Homo-oligomer: A and B are copies of this chain.
């Protein structure tokens, strides 16, 4: 039984509950591009899948970049003129600008304001802001709250450390029959944000769980890394081996109720690009294909010109295009169990396609073979044929060693699964052999 057929035997609702549940566990942790929040996150993933954790020391050169200091935070708040905590990191880790340097100071409201970030257009939401590579501090709060602040002396405390330490990332490698790899990458550096971060982490973790222990054609490598610097660090340490990556996918923003978006790799016509297009065309939700651009998630690094890897980015709603993006409204309610489950199903369908996408040679290339005497045709002539026989004819006609099953699925406009089933049957009947690669 194929990977997808097997997956479809479980109820999507159950899968959604499991996916959302794991995200709920991860939600409260204050992740950043380094530090203990990231380590705790990886530890929870390791409870589910075999995961190696790599620690790279501060100061390590990675291409044009340097691994930054490690950031950890114990507490952070703003106290109002009356001495009460009015903005409190303990209540919501988005309140603190991520990577804020330690500070303990008293200041007027006016002085304070240059360190405050709000969203006037969605005045109830807290923005998410970072300051990784410029030492600074700041707080984020709802615009409504900002408007209530009165003149007076405010006391500010960021009890953080920004010190030599390590950048941490997790790597799950599932060996297959070939050392050719499929790379699944997701960022794990955002604090309490659900769709932008946890959706990818949860779907990737469960995909690895689903694949682990199976007999697979490709090897699979799952990366759980801090955005940008994590991908750069990984690429820097694995430069010699990236040639093994035959297909790759960045997974992010994959849990909201919007339709799918797939941003193509820099190559634009890589097998992964065509495979995702095919899978999305043959599922039920709306979808859109997006051209590559050099802004976005870690496909920026995988698709930098020196690497130019066949890595695309699978999303539902596109970062920046939904109002909840990078705000406190990107929470566990915004992310839907069923959306997560259907995203996981798309990933499984994609793996199923890539695992089975081969070129065959028709052993009877001159005229059609007589399918009827092999019980592969309908017996009474004069009526039409159905999708099953149509798929067999397509596979036979295009199996000249040049066309992959995906090529055949695209040209016939039949779903890959129908083409694969036909190819399996014809192969079992000795009508096809696998083409030399």
Judged by a CB distance under 8 angstroms, whether A424 is at the interface is no
**In the assembled complex, which residues on chain B have CB atoms less than 8 Å from the CB atom of A293?**
390, 393-394, 412
Q: Report whether A130 and B397 are in contact in the complex, using a CB–CB cutoff of 8 Å.
A: no
The distance in angstroms between the C-alpha atoms of A295 and B388, with both chains bound, is 12
Interface residues of A in 280-327 (CB under 8 A from B): 291, 293-295, 300-301, 303-308, 320, 326
In angstroms, Cα B366 to Cα A131, docked, is 24
Contacts A235-B367, A304-B366: A133 and B373 contacting too (C-beta < 8 A)? yes
Q: Are A294 and B131 interface neighbours, CB within 8 A?
A: no
Q: Tell me if B366 and A235 are in contact (CB < 8 A).
A: yes
A24 to chain B, nearest CB (A): 23
B64 touches A364 (CB 8 A): yes
Main secondary structure of the interface of A (DSSP, over half): loop
Q: Does A305 contact B381, Cβ atoms closer than 8 Å?
A: no
Q: Does A396 contact B (CB under 8 A)?
A: yes
In the complex, A169 has a CB within 8 A of chain B: no
Chain B residues with CB under 8 Å of A399's CB are 305
A266 within 8 A of B: yes
Q: Kindly identify which residue among B129, B305, B394 contacts A398, using a CB–CB cutoff of 8 Å.
A: B305
Q: List chain B residues, Cβ under 8 A from A235.
A: 366-367
Across the interface, which residues of B come within 8 angstroms of A326, CB to CB? 382-383
Q: Does A128 contact B (CB under 8 A)?
A: yes
Q: Which residues of A contact B (CB under 8 A)?
A: 62-65, 97-98, 117, 127-134, 136, 228, 231-232, 235-236, 239, 266, 291, 293-295, 300-301, 303-308, 320, 326, 362, 364-370, 372-373, 379-385, 390, 393-394, 396-400, 411-412
